[in-house]
Structure 1
């Protein structure tokens, strides 16, 4: 048996980050790649639940939640695998291209799901897993941005990176709305191939994969090979490698604590985001009584507004120099406050609430659960506008600042694996939340989901305030 203490290099507190000159062209190329990947995720994700219910009447809220969770397991695993491949092969291009090819395969299967006579929801679940497996390769882009940006420019670099991601949240829903008039089952434009509101986005997603592969192949610059790329005997022991990288990143007990706080905060962000992505369509259809088509259009408009506000937020943050004028730790605290306010404002308080919609068997809309008679919802406009503010203003502040501070804590080390672990921590919540949110909503209703998520956000805010002063070294 190999002993870790015999194989792990000694990490000293004297290890310092080497300042590099920021490669803005490389960051721009990385931003284009993440934009194309995010467009695919945004445009596919909007219609997933309505489409599943449209083509497979046996699908349920719980099944969709489990399908989402399983897909996130594959993303967590693939993130680590892609990070390890990138590190050991010393290549960014190859694993990124493999990721896009997997996404292209998912598009092909998704477009053919209606050819099945039964059990279509299971093939859709496979497609979700393939899309998430492909998304696991995005961790490489995160580490690439860290590698080609200096410590002082890290915040601006991640602002541009996150700006590209948020721009995709505008383009995706807009593309979805372009085809909102092509109602299901649509028109047959190729033999046994239909074009409608749910399939049109997949064609766009397929095209983005071809463009992304071309950009990666032609414009993404490979970085010089690093001298220390081997862990010796522990190269084949993934747990040992993770232990070694965590030891290298955590030069002091304080840094270890801050890394763990970053993990917790990343998971907290994801809790709110994934909850919304999982159950907003359910809420609109069940609690508000909207049809699948109405819910899809409403979500598309909401996400378009989210993207526009997010781009404005990131533009102001980047070009007004907020990351340099104000400490990132306080900007992050502001983002947390926005989400606390979101749960308070969008909760169905007595002065604004309305009863949930009565079940309509003909349209298959409205509420038919045991909690329906005693449950309430806020005004639909208030609910959707509050989502826009939280996701369009609060989330960019959280994402930019946390990514930047976490990267600064890691320092000049090869960040591929630690960024991969960061994504795995994120995906733990991606795995749990779809099941948790769908089941809690199904069993107890809207109010219980909002109370539990709101309390988690308050606790996360308190934890951040406790460690606020400790992040001063790693925030602008």
Structure 2
């Protein structure tokens, strides 16, 4: 039977070994490789192509090694553009969404924000799973991107019509909008598997830098949109009845809708599926056969290393999600500023973090750093940034200021006395407000978060995506990338619920320390797998 070339993981079949083949062997093989050839398997090329006497045609993967063709930079750039536009939609509303909901539904509490974030992560996990299985079985990418954009457009409609709902039910329309958006963003799972398919291993970190650079640019663009919208009035002028208004809170959703339509057009007409010769041996399979094939591939991976990757990704994502979720509540509840002022501060801080992220990504894209820096060292550096950020968020002596208690307008001897701190901490809502609690000096905290958060996000994403794709090796990565997203979303779902509840019950200080502890655990565990990653030259 003719030998069939199939891509395999970095691990030697059936042994769990993490040995890598030396480059530049030409058509020859080492002594250890000859032994494997006698068993019907020869590790080959930098992507660990193996030749095997396959008895089941359905177990074939790509016959042509990824490193035998140049990196498809045009396709990766289009993926980066899609990533940018898609992420921009969410970031455009990330800053203004919560203040807007508090304006149209004053009875909503901070824990609801945590529940929304948790639900959206569950929706993202479901969407990622469905789109990953679809891409794995059909060997197509475009349909997932198109369906995702259609779902997002429907979500925009709920946000646009939110004031048609009764005030106490508007929170549910708000939740539904972000749920649909999260499911739609699950379609980006195909981008994570598209990049390894279309890039050589030596270009992998640089290719992922482009994708994450687009992501970081979106983080800047979203708050910038909100900063521009600050010139609009807070109440706005009704356009249709009393429910459709153009103000600082509602204009971003219209921008998001336009971005959705542009992205849909790009996915339909500019995005290109891989060429037929790049899909050689990857026939479309029925769902049952496809899952069986995926299971066979998964069994050959280093299970301990994959499990540690899942755990480390969860720690990193928890560090990101805790700040991302509670930052709005922290500023609005403790800074003693109006909703519009809080929105301005959040926009400036997030823009600063985005600029820092862009600078970091630019270093990866336009300098040799992406090729010379080990991803296994970059990832713990990112975790360290999260750890330091949360430690400095705790109100240590010398860098703190008191949280003023909220008071109200009152009448004294027939004279109306205006409130001194109308936006202070509400002692009737948070028990910890009345304990003389302090917070880190406000503006110092915003600067620290902008710098460290801005560096940690892109470095952790670029480094981890590079590590994980190399650990998986040359298999079709759709299923395993989907599994990673599910595990990741569980952490992203748990972090908002735990952090907002901790904020409500214990106050910000204990919450910051708890997240710092999780980041510290991730750093310690990373030290345990460093030797194995060094053997893989990662």
Relative to the length of structure 1, the TM-score reads 0.92
Alpha-carbon separation, structure 1, partners of 2:445 and 2:407: 22
2:184 maps to which of 134, 158, 176: 134
> Is residue 156 from structure 1 mapped to residue 209 from structure 2 by the alignment?
no
Match of 1:204 in 2: 255
1:304 maps to which of 351, 359, 377: 351
> Is residue 433 from structure 1 mapped to residue 482 from structure 2 by the alignment?
no
Match of 2:170 in 1: 120
Counterparts in 2 of 1:356-395, with a 5 A limit? 356-361=403-408, 363=422, 365-368=424-427, 369-372=430-433, 373-395=435-457
Match of 2:13 in 1: 12
Shift of residue 453 of structure 1? 0.5
Counterparts in 2 of 1:76-475, with a 5 A limit? 76-118=125-167, 119-190=169-240, 192-223=243-274, 224=276, 225=279, 227-229=281-283, 234-235=288-289, 241=291, 245=294, 248-249=297-298, 251-252=300-301, 255-361=302-408, 363=422, 365-368=424-427, 369-372=430-433, 373-475=435-537
Shift of residue 426 of structure 1? 1.1
- Does the 8 Å CA contact 1:286/1:357 hold for their aligned counterparts? no
Match of 2:112 in 1: 63
Shift of residue 45 of structure 1? 1.2
Matched position secondary structure for 2:431: coil
Matched position secondary structure for 2:231: coil
- Does the 8 Å CA contact 2:137/2:285 hold for their aligned counterparts? no
* Structure 1: gaps of 5 or more residues: 1-10
Shift of residue 71 of structure 1? 1.8
- Does the 8 Å CA contact 1:346/1:382 hold for their aligned counterparts? no
- Does the 8 Å CA contact 1:29/1:219 hold for their aligned counterparts? yes
Shift of residue 356 of structure 1? 1.7
Sort the Cα spacing of 1:249 and 1:389 in 2 relative to 1 into closer, same or farther, 3 A.
Answer: farther
Match of 1:4 in 2: none
- Does the 8 Å CA contact 1:358/1:366 hold for their aligned counterparts? yes
Alpha-carbon separation, structure 1, partners of 2:123 and 2:202: 35
Alpha-carbon separation, structure 1, partners of 2:238 and 2:286: 58
- Does the 8 Å CA contact 1:347/1:378 hold for their aligned counterparts? yes
Shift of residue 290 of structure 1? 2.2
Q: Which string of whole-angstrom CA distances, capped at 9 and with x for unpartnered residues, describes residues 182-227 of structure 1?
A: 2332122455421111111111110111111111112111123453
- Does the 8 Å CA contact 1:159/1:318 hold for their aligned counterparts? yes
Shift of residue 474 of structure 1? 4.5
Alpha-carbon separation, structure 1, partners of 2:91 and 2:471: 30
Shift of residue 358 of structure 1? 0.9
Alpha-carbon separation, structure 1, partners of 2:193 and 2:206: 15
- Does the 8 Å CA contact 1:249/1:409 hold for their aligned counterparts? no
Match of 1:33 in 2: 82
Shift of residue 333 of structure 1? 2.1
Q: Which has the higher helix share?
A: 1
Matched position secondary structure for 2:75: helix
- Does the 8 Å CA contact 2:360/2:458 hold for their aligned counterparts? yes
Shift of residue 391 of structure 1? 1.8
Alpha-carbon separation, structure 2, partners of 1:104 and 1:474: 43
Bigger-Rg structure (1/2): 2
Alpha-carbon separation, structure 1, partners of 2:116 and 2:363: 38
- Does the 8 Å CA contact 1:188/1:195 hold for their aligned counterparts? yes
Shift of residue 360 of structure 1? 3.6
Alpha-carbon separation, structure 2, partners of 1:475 and 1:345: 34
**Which stretch shows the higher mean deviation, 223-232 or 138-147?**
223-232
